[in-house]
Structure 1
């Protein structure tokens, strides 16, 4: 593990050795998760493809007691201005919006001199991947969204989701990790195939230790009407290939919503050429079906 400071916050990341493939894979985790969830997939790919995984600000080991330094937001402009392509930068009105997380990723890619990448995003990470690809058309060669979709704003449903999410975040005492058998609840939550208890314990720890402001901020900022409606527009404008992997049994992001977002990209071709459904899979495809996920990623990257 290595650390880089981005806008005043230390970011933890891991980068595997370069390979003969000119493209690197960048793995972006979802809400209340961390980079470690990608390890089963990365272990199957790193011999052939260089892999970068990192913790989003406020999650995993990318945390600091200091607040985001908004006075240093100019760092984004100065760094992106050194690239060979134009980059659209956004005012950091919120440090937890997809646009803000996209800026973090741009800085990380530039720091590591990764100029040709495929972005692999899970759930919220898919939104960040799409947002970043729209800003870096030369650097980002393709996108693979896993358990990520949407683009339909249903006011009542989203209000209920945001309310439930806020209540969920309120029950996070540190002693919860010591509660007998608490990890058993996380072996089955949001998945089709029960997870190994190792991963259940990891889910408990990531849930408890996530920064409160980041956990709530990402929930609220990624589910606004404006943000939800922006996704299809971005997908339709992206020239790079964009693929969507859905869990057939995913109750968090149902396949129909994944397919809906996929349909806005030119690769869809009316029959869903960029939509792939994985059987016996819930919302954590990289843990439930790592072989299938790794095989699809390898095949898609090599085919392009």
Structure 2
């Protein structure tokens, strides 16, 4: 793991060795309450042919200040053990949850957690790493950030692939319910959650078509607990306002780069019909909806649930876009 400073915040990233000079760099962007770790099954399949960049979004995973989280490179699948992560994060949790006016000077401001702000961070990351031929691959919230990133850094981004990402329809009652549930999740992350017997088993079954390997359940618990409270809350609330939801289709319609959407047939978080709705605003959809691929037996974590299918589709999309 390497780190880089972006607008005062340390960002953790990994960059595989360069491949053919004509090949794009694949940039992977994770979703809400997750981290870069979930892309590893795909990177293992792709990095022989493509250089891959994976990073933690501001306030998630290892992209946090030392006062919020202490990395531990010996902890296996993740970079911090669950107990250590919870202990290191407890001060930040207490501080943010008890404050009604925002975070103190040691924490990041709320303006850093909008889709536009995350796209800004991404553009700076690409510039600092001298990447000018990128395809962005974003999951869920990361898909929305990828779309914004394609607009903000259009000269560097040559295409976008969204996994389990869609939307563009604002249903007031459903969004209010979703936001309220999300707020409760962020508030109720006690440090002892990591020690709860079999909690990782519960996380292997959440939002997926079939249970994941138990190590992924463990990783999900870690990422759930260590996410910075302000980042977790603001990224949820700021990305689900009525204005933001309606802005996304407008952005998709204006993108000149190819944009593709991979939907999980059994995704209960982002149902395929909502993926198709957002995809329909892009010019490629006019060709019989060819920019939407539905993956069978797949829930909301396509890159972990069906990595072989996702790998095949990414390679096909890239091959067609170059030809």
Using structure 1 for the length normalisation, give the TM-score: 0.91
Show the counterpart of 1:37: 38
Paired residues of 1:8 and 1:67 also in contact (CA < 8 A): no
Show the counterpart of 1:74: none
* 1:213 counterpart SS class: helix
- Alignment of 1:227 with 2:267, yes or no, is no
Show the counterpart of 1:79: none
CA displacement at 1:155 relative to structure 2: 1.0
The structure 2 residue matched to 1:99, chosen from 111, 116, 123, is 116
Show the counterpart of 2:7: 7
- Alignment of 1:191 with 2:202, yes or no, is no
Question: Residues of 2 paired with 1:133 and 1:234: CA distance?
Answer: 9
CA displacement at 1:270 relative to structure 2: 5.7
- Alignment of 1:291 with 2:308, yes or no, is yes
Paired residues of 2:138 and 2:162 also in contact (CA < 8 A): yes
- Alignment of 1:149 with 2:170, yes or no, is no
- Alignment of 1:257 with 2:242, yes or no, is no
Show the counterpart of 2:181: 164
Show the counterpart of 1:78: none
Question: Residues of 1 paired with 2:19 and 2:317: CA distance?
Answer: 17
* 1:151 counterpart SS class: coil
* 2:236 counterpart SS class: helix
CA displacement at 1:137 relative to structure 2: 2.1
Paired residues of 2:295 and 2:309 also in contact (CA < 8 A): yes
Question: Residues of 2 paired with 1:22 and 1:10: CA distance?
Answer: 28
Question: Residues of 2 paired with 1:257 and 1:270: CA distance?
Answer: 18
Question: Residues of 1 paired with 2:114 and 2:200: CA distance?
Answer: 30
- Alignment of 1:124 with 2:124, yes or no, is no
CA displacement at 1:271 relative to structure 2: 2.1
Question: Residues of 2 paired with 1:154 and 1:50: CA distance?
Answer: 39
Question: Residues of 1 paired with 2:182 and 2:287: CA distance?
Answer: 35
Paired residues of 1:186 and 1:201 also in contact (CA < 8 A): yes
CA displacement at 1:231 relative to structure 2: 0.4
CA displacement at 1:166 relative to structure 2: 0.6
Paired residues of 1:37 and 1:287 also in contact (CA < 8 A): yes
CA displacement at 1:5 relative to structure 2: 1.1
Show the counterpart of 1:179: 196
CA displacement at 1:55 relative to structure 2: 0.1
Question: Residues of 2 paired with 1:12 and 1:282: CA distance?
Answer: 27
Paired residues of 2:29 and 2:138 also in contact (CA < 8 A): yes
Paired residues of 1:263 and 1:270 also in contact (CA < 8 A): no
Show the counterpart of 2:227: 210
Show the counterpart of 1:67: 107
Question: Residues of 2 paired with 1:60 and 1:136: CA distance?
Answer: 24
**Root mean square deviation, CA, Å:** 1.1
Show the counterpart of 2:97: none
Task: Map 1:135-146 to 2 at 5 A.
Answer: 135-146=152-163
CA displacement at 1:22 relative to structure 2: 2.9
* 1:131 counterpart SS class: helix
* 1:95 counterpart SS class: helix
Question: Residues of 2 paired with 1:139 and 1:302: CA distance?
Answer: 19
Per-residue CA distance 1:129-159 (angstroms, 9 max, x = gap): 0001012222111000000000001111111
Show the counterpart of 1:82: none
* 2:112 counterpart SS class: coil
Using structure 2 for the length normalisation, give the TM-score: 0.85
Comparing 102-111 and 131-140, the one that deviates more: 131-140
Question: Residues of 1 paired with 2:277 and 2:37: CA distance?
Answer: 29
Question: Residues of 1 paired with 2:287 and 2:312: CA distance?
Answer: 24
Question: Residues of 2 paired with 1:119 and 1:137: CA distance?
Answer: 11
Paired residues of 1:24 and 1:49 also in contact (CA < 8 A): yes
Q: How many residues get paired?
A: 281
